[in-house]
Amino acid sequence: MTAGSVLIVDDQKERAQELVNALDGHDFYIEVRPEVVDLETVLGVDSPWDCVITTVDLHGVSWSSVRRSMRGFDVQVPVITFSNEKNFDSMSTALSLGAADFFVRPAKKPGLLVRSVERSVHHRQLQRELKRSKERLERLNAELRHSLRILEQDQQAGRQVQRAMLPAGSLKLEDYWLSHKIVPSLYLSGDFTDYFRVGEHSVVFYLADVSGHGSSSAFATVLLKNLFARKRSDFLRQKDHAITNPVQMLKFANRELLELAVSKYATMVVGVLDTDKGLLRYSVAGHLPLPVLISDKETVYLPGEGSPVGLIPDPVYEEHAVELPDHCILTIMSDGVLETMNDSDLIGKEAELLKRLTGAVCKPSEVVARLGLEDLGKVELPDDIAGLFLSRGLS
């Protein structure tokens, strides 16, 4: 491996040979030419040379023409100039050419010449390395942009799939309405909700908030959707009533998330509404905020506690029952809504949420407005937000 490539341009062979001898023993690859026909090939970006040594005493050369030619391209190769005589014209010519160094009879000062060439070679090699690094970085950036486009396309496709798994619209059964709203922080959401009829007078619903967000959390919501679909099918085909047992469904969800082994857990609220009796049975698995019941009489958090599903093998869940007033709306939100509250601590956020929801019984769209969620899809959110709304007696 050479220490660098050096082109000597001199129309006097003996003088050129003296320069070759001065650089001898330093592993430079050296070539001598009496003239340069194509300046850009020698001095430009793609030049194979690391350093050019030329005399300003070349016969028949118009240095003003050389300067004009050099302005037409990006000069990358350092040029060392020399002269046989120390005079103003020679030095002025060297400066006008942008010379890296200037010598008078350099063969007589081989040590200085070698050091100057080494500096020029080092500079040129650094330029090459920077160019290679820039090209490599541009290539990697292009590959990254391509990968991001593919990822975005995958995420968009996943979002469409996840949307398709959500309820197609509101569900009406007698004087009850169920509806929902999902505001993802990314393309895919770790928040999910579903509701469906089971039998003639029952509706099963749930809201899940999977830890984290993005693809892995969205995958866990697919598992939960599949679980409830299977148990609904078991009810229809085998008269298996597990789907109408909130505690049992939470235990099933806990087991399946543990078996999935993706280090994901979920907080959940699972409920079963008996529209004939106006009775709501529900269970809570570590979910905050708790369900909020808005009625003509009051606005209150409903009680409930228990471990999130997917954390421990044998969690304990409790079933609660509440008779729904004739005129009310039950609001179940994921904890992303608490991030929109102004208070700094959890207790303060829960108090602010309850305050925002307090007021006359209203439609789900008005609940969304009270919470300030109408335009959140246009801003970057720290967490997904999901809402499930069960209303009674609202026209």
For residue range 50-81, list pLDDT tens digits in order.
999 998 888 888 888 888 888 889 999 999 99
Burial class (CB in 10 A: 0-12, 13-18, 19+), 325: middle
Per cent of the chain over pLDDT 90 is 51
pLDDT at 353 (0 to 100): 92
Mean residue pLDDT across the chain: 87
pLDDT at 88 (0 to 100): 86
Question: Where residue 143 falls among pLDDT bands split at 50, 70, 90?
Answer: confident
Which of 309, 310, 187, 294 lies closest to 258, judged by CA?
A: 310
Q: Compute the C-alpha angle 267/268/269, nearest 5°.
A: 145
Q: Two tokens at 348?
A: 């303060």
Give CA separation, 360 vs 31, 179, 204, 372, 374, in Å: 93, 19, 26, 17, 19
Give CA separation, 98 vs 76, 85, 93, 309, in Å: 11, 19, 9, 73
Residue 273 has pLDDT above 90, yes or no: yes
Residue 302 has pLDDT above 80, yes or no: yes
Q: Check residue 317 and report its DSSP letter.
A: B
Which of 225, 22, 240 lies closest to 115, judged by CA?
A: 22
Residue 311 has pLDDT above 80, yes or no: yes
Count other C-beta atoms under 10 Å from residue 297's C-beta.
11
Q: What is the dihedral of CA 205, 211, 214, 216, to 10 degrees?
A: -90
The residues facing 9 across adjacent strands are: 33, 54
Domains by residue range for the chain, with CATH: 4-134 (3.40.50.2300), 166-392 (3.60.40.10)
**2 against 118, higher pLDDT:** 118
3-state secondary structure of 241: helix
pLDDT at 186 (0 to 100): 61
Q: Check residue 108 and report its DSSP letter.
A: G
Count other C-beta atoms under 10 Å from residue 20's C-beta.
17
CA distance 284 to 309: 10
DSSP string, 165-205: HS-SS-EEETTEEEEEEEE-SSSS-SEEEEEEE-SSSEEEE
Residue pair 25/113 in contact (Cβ under 8 Å)? The answer is: no
371-379 long-range CB contacts below 8 Å, 24 or more apart?
Answer: 371/333, 371/337, 371/340, 372/340, 373/181, 373/183, 373/337, 373/340, 376/183, 376/340, 377/183
49 conformational bin, left if phi > 0, alpha if psi -120 to 50, beta if neither: beta
pLDDT at 382 (0 to 100): 57
